[in-house]
């Protein structure tokens, strides 16, 4: 692990995003059922999974520091009839950032949606997993407020 002992504790935040392309029939089926499948409420389950994953990132990615996550939100929105946008925002006060936690939260939320919808189609695509912004460390990335989840 990288040594962070000499770094100051600051407010750290990061936001990451994944996109999902759904086949038209899957998107229609989800809209018709209020985003439910035989496994249950798709978006609610994905939100819980994403938050749980963000909190456990250090146990998944070998050299990540375990961090006390103070705030985590997952926002899932339809950006077109067949495309979803999943955003994860994470905050803490610590010596190292939460980019990996935000990326992990967004990716696991997307994977959860895939898992809950795969009985409808295996043609679902997850794409564009990326960091939108981070702040509080030596370098800020992205615009302040850009892509902020509500």
The torsion defined by the Cα of 77, 114, 66 and 10, in degrees rounded to 10, comes to: -20
Indicate if 75 belongs to the active site.
no
Q: Which two tokens stand for residue 69?
A: 């996550």
Report d(CA 47, CA 45) in Å as an integer. 5
How many other C-beta atoms can be found within 10 angstroms of the C-beta atom of residue 107?
18
Given 44, 75, 115, 140, the catalytic residue: 115
The DSSP-derived string for 112-126 is HHHHHHTTT-S--EE
Q: Please provide the distance, in angstroms rounded to a whole number, between the alpha carbons at the two ends of the chain.
A: 33
Name residue 32's beta-bridge partners.
none
Catalytic residues: 115
């Amino acid at each position: 692990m990288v040594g962070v002992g000499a770094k100051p504790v600051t407010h750290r935040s990061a936001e990451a995003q994944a996109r999902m392309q759904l086949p038209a029939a899957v998107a229609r089926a989800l809209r018709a059922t209020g985003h439910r499948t035989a496994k249950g409420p798709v978006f609610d389950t994905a939100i819980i999974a994403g938050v749980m994953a963000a909190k456990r990132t250090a146990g998944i990615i070998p050299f990540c520091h375990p961090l006390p996550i103070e705030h985590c939100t997952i926002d899932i929105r339809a950006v077109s009839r067949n495309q979803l946008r999943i955003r994860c925002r994470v905050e803490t006060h610590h010596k190292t950032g939460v980019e990996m936690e935000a990326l992990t939260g967004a990716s696991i939320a997307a994977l959860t949606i895939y898992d809950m919808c795969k009985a409808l189609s295996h043609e679902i695509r997850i794409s564009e997993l990326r960091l939108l912004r981070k702040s509080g460390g030596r370098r800020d990335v992205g615009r302040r407020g850009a892509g902020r989840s509500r």
